């Protein structure tokens, strides 16, 4: 009896999943633990593994099609069913008719495939030096004047099939057309039999790239979920923003010194690593920033879990995911840097697991690395705050009553007014400013 594989529920909020890519095909042998497919959930791209041994019988759901959790997406057949010649097995090949109409084989790929099976000595062509040739391939070769002795078969056991003849004909046609074009350009133009377009003639516009063509691109499952949740966040959370500028010179100088000392260990601290630790320490002393709105209560969380927003490449569907640095207030800069680098790389290449994205209590979105000076971000529920970080920009500043060139960073908090009021936001930013502008405290 076939083993049914259903669309799994890979997160607590997942209702729909999309097969991004199958890693198996019908007839493949799989064992428990083998990778079957990449599945896009409402939060990330996850790997689907097999829980049984067997042979792939059906791939029911095509790539790119969203289906509900619990839908049968593929079936396996057990080894004993395959060996026993079960009627359900894909290995059972129907008997091939001894005579197949040429028009049917030309139009039906399945019939063409069966026609390639050697059924009698008549499939050997005297003109092909003993090579096996399908009837359709022989007919096409005669129509196009193809010498079968010059054809390399790509079918079973070197059999010459329809595809081989068509590829050879197409290649020959392209070569002939190129030769004719060359002949015109080098001979007839010189002889004056082909008019030459004057240089001053109006030339047609260059063709536009595919990106400039009008087109409609369906939203991926992840982008649909992102759109839905951002709308819910803006509609249900009373957002307000508070901005503060920070002197980045001390932190940047310390980062430079530490990176020189840690270079031999292969560690390179980013500005974002410092900000994660600063935000976490400020959260530990401002508990409202480690809290969520609970309807008729405020939920204060124990662990300080900072989320970092990661942009995904277009080949993985684009969008953003938020990776979690757990207990960030208790971790060193080196540990935060290593975890951030690992999670960012995994998110962009294979996708994050649920436990690597859950339980955030505060989020950092950093566009400063792209040169953005300042912006505002939308709160990531159930967080009560998100910090939008801009670039550290050189500008004229006043230091000790004198004009100097300094590097300043603008950061904007978006806040849930149900949990955090303006005075609390000001206290948090004051604490954050003290940590960023006195970075030695981050090392203890």
pLDDT band, very low/low/confident/very high, at 226 (cuts 50, 70, 90): confident
Averaged pLDDT for residues 190-201:
53
Residue 112 Cα to chain centre, angstroms: 37
| Residue 151, pLDDT score | 81
Q: CA-to-CA distance for 381 and 378, rounded, in angstroms? A: 9
Mean pLDDT of 368-386: 94
Domain assignment of residue 120, yes or no: yes
Assigned domain for 204 exists = no
26-58: pLDDT as tens digits: 989 888 778 899 888 876 778 888 887 889 999
Pick the more confident residue, 118 or 384. 384
Q: Is position 157 within any domain?
A: yes
In a domain, 232, yes or no: no
pLDDT score at 361: 96
Domain count, the chain: 3
Residues 255, 284: one domain? Answer: yes
The answer to whether residues 132 and 281 belong to one domain is: no
Higher pLDDT: 399 or 93? It is 399
Same domain, 282 and 393: yes
Confidence at residue 116, expressed as pLDDT on a 0 to 100 scale: 42
Of 140-154, 281-295, 347-361, the poorest mean pLDDT is in 140-154
What distance separates the 2 farthest-apart alpha carbons in the chain?
Answer: 101
Based on the fold, state whether residues 323 and 431 are members of the same structural domain: yes
Same domain, 25 and 110: no
Q: Which of 19-23, 36-40, 210-214, 375-379 has the lowest mean pLDDT?
A: 210-214
**19 and 133 together in one domain:** no
State pLDDT tens for residues 428-438.
999 999 999 99
- Check if the beta carbon of residue 50 is closer than 8 Å to that of residue 31: yes
Residue in 124, 144, 239, 417 annotated catalytic = 417
344: pLDDT strictly greater than 60: yes
Report the CATH number at residue 109.
Answer: 4.10.320.10
Q: What is the pLDDT of residue 91?
A: 38
E strand residue ranges, 9-111: 16-22, 29-30, 35-40, 45-49, 54-59, 66-68, 72-77
Task: Fill in the DSSP letter of residue 188.
Answer: I
pLDDT, mean of residues 114-121: 39
DSSP string of 372-402, one letter each residue: ---------TT-SEEEEEEEEEEEEEEETTE
With cut-offs at 50, 70 and 90, classify the pLDDT of residue 425: very high
Helix axis angle for 422-437 and 271-285, nearest 10°, is 130
Residue 347 lies in domain: 239-443
pLDDT beyond 70 at 189:
no
**Position 174 in a domain:** no
For the entire predicted model, the pTM comes to: 0.60
151 and 36 in one domain? no
Query: Each residue of 260-317: pLDDT tens digit?
Result: 999 999 999 999 999 999 999 999 999 999 999 999 999 999 999 999 999 988 777 6
Q: Which of 141, 166, 191 is the last residue of a domain?
A: 166
Asked whether 58 and 83 are in contact (CB, 8 A), the reply is: no
Contacts of 420 (CB under 8 A, 6+ apart): 288, 289, 384, 385, 428
Cite the beta strand spans of 203-264 per DSSP E.
239-247
Write out pLDDT tens, residues 77-114.
Answer: 876 555 444 444 333 334 444 344 444 444 444 434 43
Helix (H, G, I), strand (E, B) or coil at 90: coil
**What confidence score (pLDDT) does residue 79 get?**
62
Query: Is there a domain that residue 333 lies in?
Result: yes
User: Which residue would you say has higher pLDDT here, 431 or 168?
Assistant: 431
Query: What is the structure's pLDDT at 253?
Result: 95
Residue 148, in any domain of the structure: yes
417 classed as catalytic:
yes
Q: Are residues 255 and 287 in the same domain?
A: yes
The edge-to-edge listing of strands for the beta sheet with 320-325 is: 239-247, 402-416, 385-399, 362-366, 306-311, 320-325
Which CATH number characterizes residue 334's domain? 3.30.559.10
């Amino acid at each position: 009896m076939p083993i049914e594989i259903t669309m799994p529920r890979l997160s607590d909020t997942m209702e729909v999943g999309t097969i991004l890519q199958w890693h198996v095909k019908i007839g493949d042998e799989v064992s428990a633990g083998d990778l079957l497919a990449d599945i896009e959930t409402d939060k990330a791209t996850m790997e689907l593994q097999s829980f049984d041994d067997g042979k792939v019988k059906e791939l029911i759901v095509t790539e790119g099609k969203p289906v509900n959790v619990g839908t049968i997406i593929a079936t396996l057949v057990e080894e004993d069913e395959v060996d026993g010649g079960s009627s359900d097995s894909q290995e059972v090949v129907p008997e091939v008719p001894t005579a197949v109409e040429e028009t049917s084989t030309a139009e039906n790929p399945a019939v063409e495939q069966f026609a390639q099976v050697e059924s009698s000595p008549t499939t050997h062509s005297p003109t092909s030096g003993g090579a096996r040739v399908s009837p359709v391939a022989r007919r096409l070769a005669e129509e196009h004047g193809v010498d079968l002795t010059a054809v390399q078969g790509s079918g079973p056991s070197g059999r010459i099939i329809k595809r081989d003849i068509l590829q050879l004909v197409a290649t020959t046609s392209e070569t002939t057309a190129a030769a004719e074009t060359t002949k015109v350009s080098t001979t007839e133009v010189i002889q004056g039999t082909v008019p030459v377009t004057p240089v001053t003639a109006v030339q047609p516009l260059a063709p536009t790239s595919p990106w400039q063509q009008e087109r409609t691109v369906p939203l991926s499952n992840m982008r649909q979920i992102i759109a839905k949740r951002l709308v819910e966040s803006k509609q249900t959370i009373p957002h307000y923003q508070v901005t503060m500028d920070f002197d980045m010179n001390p932190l940047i100088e310390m980062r430079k010194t530490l990176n020189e000392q840690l270079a031999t260990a292969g560690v390179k601290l980013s500005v974002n690593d410092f900000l994660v630790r600063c935000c976490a320490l400020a959260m530990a002393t401002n508990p409202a920033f480690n809290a969520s709105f609970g309807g008729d209560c405020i939920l204060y969380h124990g662990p300080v879990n900072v989320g970092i927003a990661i942009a995904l490449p277009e080949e993985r569907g684009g969008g953003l995911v938020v990776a979690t640095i757990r207990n960030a207030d208790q971790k060193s800069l080196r540990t935060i840097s290593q975890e951030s680098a690992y999670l960012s790389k995994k998110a962009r290449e294979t996708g994050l697991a649920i436990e690597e994205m859950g339980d955030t209590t505060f989020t950092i979105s950093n566009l400063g690395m792209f040169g953005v000076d300042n912006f505002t971000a939308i709160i990531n529920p159930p967080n009560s705050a998100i910090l939008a970080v801009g670039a550290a920009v050189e500008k004229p500043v006043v230091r000790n009553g004198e004009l100097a060139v300094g590097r300043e960073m603008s950061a904007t908090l978006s806040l849930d007014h149900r949990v955090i009021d303006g005075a609390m936001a000001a206290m948090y930013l004051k604490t954050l400013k003290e940590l960023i502008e006195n970075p030695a405290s981050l090392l203890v």
